[in-house]
Structure 1
Amino acid sequence: MNTTEMPVQSAQTLIKSTLAAGVLAAIMLATVILPAEYNIDPTGIGSALGLTELNSQEQEIAVPEVVQRGEQSFAYRTDTTTIEVPAGRGIEYKFQLDKYGHLEYEWVTESGELYFDFHGEPTGDTTGYFESFAIATANKMSGSLTTPFDGSHGWYWKNNGQESVKITLKTKGFYEVIGLKQ
Structure 2
Amino acid sequence: MQHTVSSKTLIKASITALFVAIIALVLFILPAEYNIDPTGIGKQLGVTKIAQASEQKSVKAPDSLQMGSDEFQTIEVTIPANRGIEYKFEMQQYEKMTYEWMTDGDSLYFDLHGEPVGDTTGYFESYAIANLNEMKGSFTAPFAGSHGWYWKNNSDSPVAIQLLVKGQFKVIGLKK
TM over 0.5: yes
Q: Aligned to 1:157, which of 138, 151, 155?
A: 151
Give me the identity figure in percent: 55
Q: Which aligned pairs between 1:92-107 and structure 2 lie closer than 5 A?
A: 92-107=86-101
Distance 1:115 1:150 in 2: 25
Partner of residue 18, structure 2: none
Partner of residue 113, structure 2: 119
Partner of residue 82, structure 2: 88
Q: Cα deviation per residue 1:161-182 (whole Å; 9 max; x = unaligned)?
A: 0100000000000100000002
Give the number of the structure whose alpha-carbon radius of gyration is greater.
1
Structure 1 length-normalised TM = 0.59
Q: Cα deviation per residue 1:82-124 (whole Å; 9 max; x = unaligned)?
A: 1000000000000001100000000000021100000000000
Q: Cα deviation per residue 1:114-163 (whole Å; 9 max; x = unaligned)?
A: 00000000000111110000000000001000110000000000000010
Q: Given the superposition, is the C-alpha separation of residues 12 and 136 from structure 1 closer, same or farther in structure 2, using an over 3 Å criterion?
A: closer
Structure 1 alignment gaps of length 5 or more: 1-7, 15-73
Distance 1:161 1:177 in 2: 28
Structure 2 alignment gaps of length 5 or more: 6-66
Distance 2:130 2:4 in 1: 61
RMSD: 1.6
Partner of residue 171, structure 2: 177
Q: Aligned to 1:110, which of 92, 97, 104?
A: 104
1:76 equivalent to 2:60? Answer: no
**Residue-pair matches, total:** 114
The question of whether the paired residues in 1 share the 8 Å contact of 2:68 and 2:166 is answered with no
Out of 114-123 and 76-85, give the one that drifted further.
76-85
Distance 2:146 2:91 in 1: 6
Q: CA deviation at 1:79?
A: 1.1
Structure 2 length-normalised TM = 0.61
- The 3-state SS of whatever aligns with 1:162 is coil
